[in-house]
Amino acid sequence: MAVDRSRTRPRSLAADLLTASRPLSWINTAFPFAAAYLLATREIDAPLVIGTLFFLVPYNLAMYGINDVFDYASDAQNPRKGGVEGALLGPARHRATLIAAPAACVPFVVALVLLGSPVSWLVLAVSLFAVAAYSMPGLRFKEVPFLDSVTSSTHFVSPAVYGLALAGASVTPQLIALIAAFFAWGVASHAFGAVQDVVPDREGGIASIATVLGAHATVRFAIAAWGAAGLLMLVTAWPGPLAAVLVLPYLATAWPYRGVSDASSGAANAGWRRFLGINYAVGFLVTMLLVWYAALTPPVE
């Protein structure tokens, strides 16, 4: 019988919403937007501040909070949920979460629309649609194998694309390669993360790329996608090609699980935890490369 770990001790609504927004993941959406916008404009202005704050907290509350509400039945069976790897919101919090998530986004979205252009509106609309479509009944892209990984990657890549669109950046082949590499990284990351949940997802009746391909095939798919990301970085503007080596820690982390069985797929959680730590180290190195790029190039016109 599932244990409601969300109610082991009294918590305020604010605390539950904060946990649902995944504070450890805030930087994964705010940084791509801020870096893309700042590199394109070299200015600290209202769009940068508003956009960064939006992608820092409200965006994540919407993305993860909606997911936690509609995945409660399966999450209650998953021992990973209820901590840093995923909130376990009890039914008493569901209505408040579904109200708070869009309410937190609206003021920022209105401001960004007023500050943006039709192109940026389109990108923002795609980003927000992906957030809703991933988990909401009637869409549930997270239960469509491969589309689940594509949508998840969109969650993290679209803030960067939006930053470029809001800044009016020019599209170049090197920039397309960079975005494609980031997208391939996101697809790989989602796929690898899904491996550890093969058993609870199947027990909960949830389909995913991992439940369809199987654990070891999904790990190999993730390895291939990370490898593709590295290759794409080789054709980006200097010093972007140096970032190709940054896929190596991810490949090394996933490699030991390339033969994992469905029954033992939960063992991949150890690799996932290493993945979370690797992200911070790689993020630091990516930041250094971006600073170097900024020093070498003028603002994108």
Q: Say whether pLDDT at 195 is over 70.
A: yes
pLDDT of residue 200: 86
The domains spanning 13-168 and 171-295 adopt the same CATH topology: no
211-237, pLDDT tens digit by residue? Answer: 999 999 999 999 999 999 999 999 999
90-137, pLDDT tens digit by residue? Answer: 777 889 899 999 999 999 999 999 999 999 999 999 999 999 999 999
**Taking the domains of the chain in order of start, what are their residue ranges?**
13-168, 171-295
The pLDDT confidence band at residue 87, using thresholds 50, 70 and 90, is: low
pLDDT of residue 80: 63
Considering the domain 13-168 in this protein, what is its CATH number?
1.10.357
Q: In sequence order, what are the beta bridge partners of 86?
A: 83
264-298, pLDDT tens digit by residue? Answer: 999 999 999 999 999 999 999 999 999 999 999 87
Among 208, 211, 36, 229, which Cα is nearest to 127's? Answer: 36
136-157, pLDDT tens digit by residue? Answer: 999 999 999 999 999 999 999 9
Q: Say whether pLDDT at 9 is over 70.
A: no
pLDDT of residue 74: 67
The pLDDT confidence band at residue 16, using thresholds 50, 70 and 90, is: confident
pLDDT of residue 298: 73
Report d(CA 165, CA 142) in Å as an integer.
Answer: 27
pLDDT of residue 2: 44
Query: Which of 16-25, 65-74, 189-198 shows the highest mean pLDDT?
Result: 189-198
Residue 102, C-beta contacts closer than 8 angstroms, at least 6 positions apart: 62
pLDDT top residue among 271 and 86: 271
- The stretch 188-196 carries a mean pLDDT of 97
Question: Per-residue b/e over 168-186, b at no fewer than 16 CB within 10 Å?
Answer: ebeeeeebebbbbbbbbbb
User: In this structure, which topology does domain 171-295 adopt according to CATH?
Assistant: Four Helix Bundle (Hemerythrin (Met), subunit A) (1.20.120)
Q: Compute the mean pLDDT over every residue in the chain, rounded to the nearest whole number.
A: 91
The pLDDT confidence band at residue 13, using thresholds 50, 70 and 90, is: confident
Residue 219 near residue 175 (C-beta atoms within 8 A): no
Query: What separation, in Å, do the N-terminal and C-terminal C-alpha atoms of the chain show?
Result: 59
Residue 100: CB atoms within 10 A of its CB come to 21
